[in-house]
């Protein structure tokens, strides 16, 4: 990461190049909600695919599911979210600004940082779940909530999956999907938002194996981040102190990333014990325990959870990849994205528009080889190189007049700036090496 990286630079790049936009921008936006443009959507898709592949490469089974976004009040009562999923908030009665009371943004002993008056309400708890009603009737039975985490749909389907999918404990269930939290103060771009995607994997095991699996998943997640190209010094593991643990958790370690605004949580790896299955058994009246024939015993599986936000991971990947340098006396911004995460892997450029007919077959060749390719014929070659550096494209392939004679193209490497003349028959091999 360059020493001058700031969140503002990342935000500006994301907007300029079509990664991320404020949602409903033409109507002045909606706070804490973002839309992902073509490059951002592609990069998120690549991250999700990499995560699921990583999960499913584990020696034990990890099955995928896709649960509903709406859940009845009963689910959230059992999970503890109705009673516990709240943040403390405080309002300035003078300027009406609202703050979280536990994140250091205000000190009730001091004046409001917004208007300078000292006129605070009491601190109140604010539940972060979005509430809605199903159907036309507005009564207690019609109440539903947008899920604040994907995990609960895994727990309430545990028995369905166990009995229908020929799996045995230990095994995992992974899910990628939207979650919603009415954050009091969404901020820091896509780091803390109100609508986001989570990638969660709940690993079910015998109680006596749970500490061992907790350690195994800590190790596996470390290798996941290294496989995404994270510099080893850019992330660290921080075990929670006892007073920080969530209501469901016996033990938890955060994977923290060094964002421009400091060390912050990227992923939570939690030992959830038998909390969730026990709660749902008690509240639903359905027995979610497992019978073990060999030992003639029933037990409630314990759970190790890996939970990371796609949007937050997306931001971490951009921060890890962001560099600035000087090339031929000109400032350059580049994203050193690995080939596997680059939304566009190869830009194919015709030196001048006259060469477009010779360039299109090169585009077709690379697309047929499964590469993510963009054709570009506008602007000077230098400007085009800068554009693709900025969106993290590892290679530019240029078709020039000599190509018509020697059937070779120039491949330019984003990071080394090296330019190599390569025969058309060799370019797929060179680009995928
Ligand atoms: N099931 C456990 C759980 O949801 P969490 O620590 O509240 O735990 C897990 O959330 C991860 O989800 C976080 O580490 C973060 O990556 C992501 N996340 C949580 N709240 C978020 C928000 N408001 N905006 C973006 N990502 C969020």
Atom 12 of ligand 1, nearest CA residue: 309
Residue 385: CB partners within 8 Å, gap ≥ 6? 396, 412
Q: Which residues pair with 258 in a beta bridge?
A: 263
Question: What burial letters (b/e) apply to 115-126, b meaning 16+ CB within 10 Å?
Answer: eeeeebeeeeeb
DSSP 398-415: EE-HHHHHH-EEEEEETT
Structure confidence by residue, pLDDT tens digits, 15-67: 999 999 999 999 999 999 999 999 999 999 999 999 999 999 999 999 999 99
On whether the CB atoms of residues 310 and 198 are closer than 8 A, the answer is yes
Please state which of the ranges 84-98, 108-122, 237-251, 358-372 shows the lowest mean pLDDT. 237-251
> Kind and range of the H or E element at 152?
helix 151-156
On whether the CB atoms of residues 56 and 174 are closer than 8 A, the answer is yes
Q: What is the CA radius of gyration of the chain?
A: 25
Q: Is 400 touching ligand 1 by the criterion CB < 6 Å?
A: no
CA–CA distance, 103 with 128 (Å, rounded to integer): 15
Residue 414's CB is within 10 A of a number of other CB atoms, namely: 22
Q: Which residues pair with 205 in a beta bridge?
A: 302
pLDDT, residue 4, reads 80
Secondary structure of residue 341 in the 3-state scheme: coil
Atom of ligand 1 nearest to the CA of 150: 1
CA–CA distance, 84 with 241 (Å, rounded to integer): 19
Q: What would the two tokens of residue 289 be?
A: 């325990």
Q: Is 307 touching ligand 1 by the criterion CB < 6 Å?
A: yes
CA–CA distance, 204 with 165 (Å, rounded to integer): 14
Q: Kindly list the distances between the CA atom of residue 23 and the CA atoms of 6, 37, 188, in Å, as whole numbers in the listed order.
A: 22, 11, 15
In this predicted structure, the answer to whether residue 215 has a pLDDT above a threshold of 90 is yes
CA–CA distance, 145 with 384 (Å, rounded to integer): 47
Atom of ligand 1 nearest to the CA of 198: 12
All domains of the chain, ordered by start, with CATH?
7-71+134-318 (3.30.930.10), 344-432 (3.40.50.800)
CA–CA distance, 278 with 329 (Å, rounded to integer): 64
Atom of ligand 1 nearest to the CA of 183: 23
Atom of ligand 1 nearest to the CA of 151: 1
pLDDT, residue 305, reads 98
Cis amide prior to 70 (ω within 30 degrees): no
Ligand 1 centre to CA of 338 (Å) is 25
Cα 203 off chain centre by: 20
Q: Is 198 touching ligand 1 by the criterion CB < 6 Å?
A: yes
In this predicted structure, the answer to whether residue 174 has a pLDDT above a threshold of 80 is yes
Pocket residue to mutate for ligand 1, from 51, 198, 310, most atoms within 8 A of Cβ:
198
Ligand 1 centre to CA of 308 (Å) is 6
Ligand 1 centre to CA of 319 (Å) is 19
Q: Is 193 touching ligand 1 by the criterion CB < 6 Å?
A: yes
Tell the residue number behind the tokens 């240029």, with chain if given: 398
What is the average per-residue pLDDT within 280-300?
A: 97
CA–CA distance, 14 with 197 (Å, rounded to integer): 18
Q: Helix-strand-coil percent breakdown of the chain, rounded to 5?
A: 35, 30, 35
pLDDT bracket for residue 105 (50, 70, 90): confident
pLDDT, residue 1, reads 43
pLDDT bracket for residue 2 (50, 70, 90): very low
pLDDT bracket for residue 141 (50, 70, 90): confident
Secondary structure of residue 390 in the 3-state scheme: helix
pLDDT, residue 16, reads 95
What is the average per-residue pLDDT within 75-96?
A: 94
Pocket residue to mutate for ligand 1, from 173, 261, 309, 317, most atoms within 8 A of Cβ:
309
On whether the CB atoms of residues 301 and 210 are closer than 8 A, the answer is no
Secondary structure of residue 365 in the 3-state scheme: helix
Atom of ligand 1 nearest to the CA of 193: 24
CA–CA distance, 345 with 53 (Å, rounded to integer): 20
Q: Is 315 touching ligand 1 by the criterion CB < 6 Å?
A: no
Residue 422's CB is within 10 A of a number of other CB atoms, namely: 15
User: 44, 66, 77: which is closest to 143 by C-alpha?
Assistant: 77
Q: Is 316 touching ligand 1 by the criterion CB < 6 Å?
A: no
CA–CA distance, 21 with 33 (Å, rounded to integer): 9
Atom 16 of ligand 1, nearest CA residue: 309
Beta strand pairing call for 322-327 and 330-335:
antiparallel
DSSP 14-45: HHHTTSEEETTGGGT--TT-EEE-HHHHHHHH
Ligand 1 centre to CA of 150 (Å) is 10
CA–CA distance, 20 with 41 (Å, rounded to integer): 8
Atom of ligand 1 nearest to the CA of 192: 24
pLDDT, residue 365, reads 98
pLDDT, residue 356, reads 97
Structure confidence by residue, pLDDT tens digits, 323-378: 999 998 999 999 999 999 999 999 999 999 999 999 999 999 999 999 999 999 99
% of residues, the chain, pLDDT over 70: 99
């Amino acid at each position: 990461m360059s020493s001058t990286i700031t969140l503002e630079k990342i935000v500006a790049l994301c907007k300029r190049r079509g990664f991320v936009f404020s949602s409903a921008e033409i109507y002045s936006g909606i706070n804490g909600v973002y839309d992902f443009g073509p490059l951002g959507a592609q990069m998120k898709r690549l991250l999700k695919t990499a995560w699921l592949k990583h999960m499913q490469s584990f020696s034990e089974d990890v099955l995928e599911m896709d649960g509903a976004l709406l859940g009845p009040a009963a689910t959230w009562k059992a999970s503890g979210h109705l009673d516990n999923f709240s943040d403390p908030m405080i309002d300035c009665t003078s300027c009406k600004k609202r703050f979280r009371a536990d994140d250091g943004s205000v000190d009730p002993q001091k004046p409001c940082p917004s208007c300078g008056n000292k006129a605070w309400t009491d601190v109140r708890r604010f539940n972060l779940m979005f509430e809605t009603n199903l159907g036309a009737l507005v009564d207690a039975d019609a109440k539903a909530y947008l899920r604040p985490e994907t995990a609960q749909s895994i727990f309430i389907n545990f028995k369905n999956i166990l009995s229908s999918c020929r799996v045995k404990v230990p095994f995992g269930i992974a899910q990628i999907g939207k979650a919603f939290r009415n954050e009091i103060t969404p901020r820091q771009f896509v780091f803390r938002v109100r609508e986001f995607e989570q990638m969660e994997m709940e690993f079910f095991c015998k109680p006596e194996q749970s500490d061992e699996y907790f350690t195994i998943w800590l190790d596996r997640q470390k290798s996941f981040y290294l496989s995404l190209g994270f510099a080893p010094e850019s992330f660290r593991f921080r075990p929670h102190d006892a007073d920080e643990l969530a209501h469901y958790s016996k033990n938890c370690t955060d994977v923290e990333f060094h964002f421009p605004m400091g060390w912050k949580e990227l992923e939570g790896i939690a030992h959830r014990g038998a909390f969730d299955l026990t709660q749902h058994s008690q509240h639903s009246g359905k027995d979610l325990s497992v019978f073990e024939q060999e030992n003639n015993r029933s037990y409630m599986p314990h759970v190790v959870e890996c939970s990371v936000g796609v949007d937050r991971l997306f931001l971490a990947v951009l921060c890890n990849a962001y560099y600035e340098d000087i090339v031929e006396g000109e400032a350059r911004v580049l994203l050193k994205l690995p080939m596997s995460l680059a939304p566009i892997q190869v830009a194919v450029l015709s030196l001048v528009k006259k060469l477009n007919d010779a360039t299109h077959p090169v585009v077709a060749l690379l697309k047929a080889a499964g590469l993510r390719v963009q054709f570009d014929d506008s602007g000077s070659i230098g400007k085009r190189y800068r554009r693709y550096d900025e969106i993290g494209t590892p290679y530019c392939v240029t078709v020039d007049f000599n190509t018509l004679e020697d059937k070779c193209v120039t491949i330019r490497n984003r990071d080394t700036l090296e330019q190599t003349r390569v025969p058309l028959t060799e370019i797929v091999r060179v680009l995928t090496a």
